[in-house]
Amino acid sequence: MTFSPRWKQAPPGSRWGEFGPDDQLGRMNLVDAAKVLQAVTEVKVGLTFCLSLPLDVPGGMALNPRRLPAQRFSTLRDGKSAGQQGFCWSYASEAVDTTDVVCDDVLLMNTQYSTQWDSLAHMGSRFDADGDGHAEAVFYNGYRAGVDIHAATEDPHAIADWARFPGPNAAALGIENLAGHGAQGRGVMVDLEHHVGRHREAVGYERLMRILDADHVQIEVGDMVCLHTGFADMLMAMNRQPDVKLLHETGSGLDGNDPKLLNWIVDVKLACLISDNPAVELVQAKPLGVGDTRIRGPRLPLHEHCLFKNGIHLGELWWLTPLARWLRTHGRSRFLLTAPPLRLPGAAGSPTTPIATV
């Protein structure tokens, strides 16, 4: 174990320091030049699949009331035309002999509204990293809330509720680290839907191993693993009017409470986990102890295990169904995956428009 000035002890089951005490990329370090070259060999026919939902899907805020959908506004002009909207704006309004007509717009949205990456700053845990007997809010590799990752200061004059806390900043572990890497490597499809259907099921280690064996899927060091459940495909069919009750009854996800599964995720040395559902794991009620005694632990155990303990990025709400169907028809599971997030410094997550090439 590599020790760092940021921590004296690392969480059980973690790999802090695996890539050095100051690492901010986690298991994506395994996607190196050799892995990219390996991924390129999976391009056989040159066909591409866009794995992103439209950026305004799911639609509204019913699926997640905390996340704002995409809203666009016209950019305002300056100079002689100050205050006019810059959409279908003609330069002839300022100079009669010019022919240019311009459209510019502004985007307001939550960075994790639709198809997205979680950065390693997206979720930490309360853990006694300095060994003083008191838990503090820490993130992967011991980066700390209030030291490396900063909440915003409230603006009492904010124009709306969403603007009350401007400028939060993940000075460490922000999504720009994944963007700088490029997020390009070998994707491997695990077609849960084909075996589980679209009903709600927490897939544990034993079930997953049977699925991998049945489909002859091998996951190797540095692979970018994609889990197809059919959830995003159902979301697309709802055309921005999500039926929340039906969606909550739909689709499988990994069982974050299965210790064998959590160990396998680390031991197989996959680079990241991606799914077409909202959380990769199936969100379940937190287990209770004997006699309903409270057990201290995470609400999202797979998030804690991946993001906080082991530096494994998570991708969520990717549209995997067309690709999964094509791969199954052609007896394949591997492809070239290119999925950089926005290079947005300090962000805890980002939209992405992934492209699979087969």
Residues 301-343: tens digit of each pLDDT? 999 999 999 999 999 999 999 999 999 999 999 999 999 999 9
Give the chain's mean pLDDT. Answer: 95
Contact in structure between 291 and 278 (CB atoms under 8 Å): no
139-157: average pLDDT: 97
- Continuous segment of H or E residues that includes residue 170: strand 169-170
Examine the fold and report which residue of 108, 134, 165 is the final residue of a domain before the chain moves on.
108
- Pair (82, 171) in one structural domain: no
Amino acid occupying residue 190: V
- Pair (259, 123) in one structural domain: yes
Q: Collapsing DSSP states into helix, strand and coil, what is residue 214?
A: helix
- Pair (75, 57) in one structural domain: no
Domain that holds residue 299: 26-62+111-357
Is the residue at 268 inside a domain?
Answer: yes
Contact in structure between 114 and 70 (CB atoms under 8 Å): yes
57-71: average pLDDT: 91
In tens, the pLDDT along 251-272 reads 899 999 999 999 999 999 999 9
Is the residue at 320 inside a domain?
Answer: yes
- Pair (103, 118) in one structural domain: no
Q: What is the pTM of this model?
A: 0.94
Is the residue at 3 inside a domain?
Answer: no
Is the residue at 97 inside a domain?
Answer: yes
Flag whether pLDDT at 212 surpasses 90: yes
pLDDT value of position 322: 98
pLDDT value of position 288: 52
In tens, the pLDDT along 271-310 reads 999 999 999 999 886 655 555 556 678 999 999 999 999 9
- Pair (237, 201) in one structural domain: yes
The β-bridge partners of 335 are 187
| Structure tokens that stand for 104 in this block | 């510019």
Flag whether pLDDT at 121 surpasses 60: yes
- Pair (88, 208) in one structural domain: no
- Continuous segment of H or E residues that includes residue 303: helix 301-303
Is the residue at 173 inside a domain?
Answer: yes
Is the residue at 9 inside a domain?
Answer: no
Report angle CA 219, 203, 217 to the nearest 5 degrees.
Answer: 25
Is the residue at 15 inside a domain?
Answer: no
Is the residue at 4 inside a domain?
Answer: no
Examine the fold and report which residue of 53, 85, 108 is the final residue of a domain before the chain moves on.
108
In tens, the pLDDT along 196-208 reads 999 899 999 999 9
Comparing C-alpha atoms, which of 244, 215, 243 is closest to residue 228?
A: 215
Flag whether pLDDT at 230 surpasses 90: yes
Cα separations in angstroms, 218 against 77, 90, 190, 228, 357: 55, 57, 10, 16, 19
Domain count, the chain: 2
